[in-house]
Structure 1
Amino acid sequence: MRRVQYERSGGPEVLELVSAEVPTPGPGELLVKVDAIGVTLPVVRKVREQREPIALGGEVAGEVVAVGEGVDGYAEGYRVTGLVFGHGYAEYALLSAAMASPIPDGASAVDAVALVRSGLVALGALDAAKPQEGETALITAAASGVGHLAVQLARVRGADRVIGAVSHLDKAEFVAGLGADEVHAYRQESWGAPADYALDAVGGELLGPALAAVAPGGRLVAYSSGGGTIEAYDLLVGAKSVIGFQMARIFKGQPDLYEQWRQELWQYFASGQLRPAVHAEFALDDAAQAHQVVESRANLGKVVLIP
């Protein structure tokens, strides 16, 4: 089979396509013939920042072609999606059955990788904000794979006004088309009306402005791998709260909630309330181009690899 990997850290140019053996599923694992792979910013960052090369994991979707010992509920021929921690940029990948989610009829593999993992993060961050009916929501990275779903979910969960913040205003039309009432560039002095809660996917230098855009008594949910710092005084003076959200903690500690969110996402998809957008589909040979799009924050929605 073909697989994308790299031997040294760096930019997208270090990725290479190689031949590899088709893996054999171990206990609790599914062997999936991969039809679509979701490209994420955390994986792109690791390629550039990690000293030692790692397996390119991430979201995959496809058909189960072999089942490991001890797996219940899945068989050959099932269509599934899930998060792979080993090699996922490949024609075949090993997926833990615990991480697998069935793809319902009427949804494609591309729909699945655009919706499930990014949607789980968006929905989890939204739940962490404890949204109330009629509030104003602020979503940073509003055109990203996660952000474009968060914009829609905030409205589904009762937001009266949704504000999107993006790196460039050339993304404004796309974000407005998702249902945002206002779209602002990060460089702008103001991001519109103060928000009751903000979901920040960027971090770094943007964490402070995101907190400043929250109304007194409001909540900021930080779920970015980009880090960042804020001043305690900025919390005290406005009686604001900052909440950290990490999906891994939910998966490990609250599996029932994790499954509830997965079902909720598919229900929203089936009803037309949630529309995952795909910026572009790239062949495995063009994985470097896919990483370049995500790293430069040029994408409108999800970037997908097609083996």
Structure 2
Amino acid sequence: MRAAQVRRTGGPEVVEVVDVEEPRPGPGQVLVEVDAAGVNFIDTYHRSGTYPVATPFGLGLEGAGRVVAAGEGADLPEGGLVAWKQAPGSCAERVVVDAAEAVPVPDGVDAETAAALMLQGLTAQYLCASTYPVAPGDVVVVHAAAGGVGLLLTQMVVLRGGRVLATTSTPEKAELARGAGAEEVLGYEDFAARARELTDGEGVAAVYDGVGRATFAQGLDALRPRGTMVLFGGASGQVEPLDLQQLNAKGSLYVTRPSLAAYTRTREELLERAGAVLGWAAQGRLSVRVGGRYALEDVARAHEDLEGRRTTGKLLVLPEGAAEAELGRS
């Protein structure tokens, strides 16, 4: 079978699509034929060595597909459609997934939608439901609101009765954010001042920041007293060390650096969060934008597009597909 692998860390050029032996599921595992694999920033961090992984390794963590074989104790039916957020080597024709990570996909949700929702959808869900639980009437800032997490998070905040002030980098992305329910779209340069203007000087309840270094300091200035800075990524680089006295001076602020792993520690919590997200999709309450579809041979190009900020929504690799990337197609 074919799989995308990294034998040495570096830029997108180090990605190779090679023939490998088909894996076999062990106890508590299933072998899945991958219909769609998600492309995420964490994949680029693994590829570049920012997050060290022993080489060689298979790219990708997220996907959806049909179970073709089950190991001992894996109680998932063959032929069933499942999705997952954590299975190393998912950017391949087939992958072994721990049954504890495999989520049954409900009727009304196809494989592409499910693959697009597992990592980014669950992230958006825990951010606005648990890390800072948005209450009706809350005003929050969502950075990079036209990205994969941003579009989903904006919709989920609105579903909870909140109001979103979005940041984007282009007029086209601004329109996508408005389409997802953003009340206002701000520029990155002065978003804190604009957020205060739009809240009559009070500031926002929370800032959801996956950008990091370029936005973090200004984000603290956008918060109301006892507001919450939710730093969940570092697309622009890692945030510099913080003098905690700033939190006092700016109004007894909260800062947290959450991770999806910490919010899906048990099978029950994973199924609860995934059930909510996939359920909204099945009901038509959550719109999922696929910003690019790539053949397996084009994984490197998917990384280039993601890192070059040329994309919106979710990028997917279709191992059996031959379609060219169609950026902006939903």
**What is the SS of the residue equivalent to 2:58?**
coil
> How far has the Cα of 1:19 moved from its partner?
0.5
> Is the CA contact 1:32–1:62 (under 8 Å) kept in the aligned structure 2?
yes
**Matching of residue 295 in structure 1 with residue 307 in structure 2:** yes
Partner of 1:45: 45
Unaligned runs of 5+ in 1: none
In structure 2, do the counterparts of structure 1 residues 120 and 271 end up closer, same or farther at CA, with 3 Å as the change threshold? same
Q: TM-score, normalised by structure 2?
A: 0.87
Partner of 2:62: 59
> How far has the Cα of 1:214 moved from its partner?
1.5
Aligned to 1:92, which of 94, 117, 121?
94
Matches within 5 A, 1:8-87: 8-50=8-50, 52-53=54-55, 54-72=57-75, 74-87=76-89
> How far has the Cα of 1:191 moved from its partner?
4.3
**Matching of residue 239 in structure 1 with residue 252 in structure 2:** yes
Alpha-carbon distance in structure 2 between the residues aligned to 1:63 and 1:191: 47
Matches within 5 A, 1:127-276: 127-159=130-162, 161-188=163-190, 190-192=193-195, 193=198, 194-225=203-234, 226-229=237-240, 230-237=242-249, 238-252=251-265, 254-276=266-288
Partner of 2:297: 285
Alpha-carbon distance in structure 2 between the residues aligned to 1:169 and 1:214: 25
> How far has the Cα of 1:290 moved from its partner?
0.7
Identity over aligned residues, as a percent?
Answer: 35
> Is the CA contact 2:82–2:103 (under 8 Å) kept in the aligned structure 1?
yes
Alpha-carbon distance in structure 1 between the residues aligned to 2:104 and 2:194: 39
Letter of the 1:99 partner, please give it.
Answer: E
Q: Residues 3-62 of structure 1: CA distance to partner in whole angstroms, max 9, x if unpaired?
A: 111222111121111111111001111100000000000111221134653431311111
Q: Residues 118-172 of structure 1: CA distance to partner in whole angstroms, max 9, x if unpaired?
A: 111111111210221111011112111111100000001110x211112444411
State the number of aligned residues: 304
Alpha-carbon distance in structure 1 between the residues aligned to 2:218 and 2:61: 30
Runs of 4+ in structure 1 off by over 4 angstroms are none
In structure 2, do the counterparts of structure 1 residues 291 and 191 end up closer, same or farther at CA, with 3 Å as the change threshold? farther
CA RMSD in angstroms, aligned pairs only? 1.7
Alpha-carbon distance in structure 1 between the residues aligned to 2:35 and 2:224: 44
**What is the SS of the residue equivalent to 1:146?**
helix
> Is the CA contact 2:148–2:312 (under 8 Å) kept in the aligned structure 1?
yes
In structure 2, do the counterparts of structure 1 residues 30 and 5 end up closer, same or farther at CA, with 3 Å as the change threshold? same
**What is the SS of the residue equivalent to 1:257?**
helix
Letter of the 2:152 partner, please give it.
Answer: L
Unaligned runs of 5+ in 2: 320-330
Aligned to 2:112, which of 82, 107, 110?
110
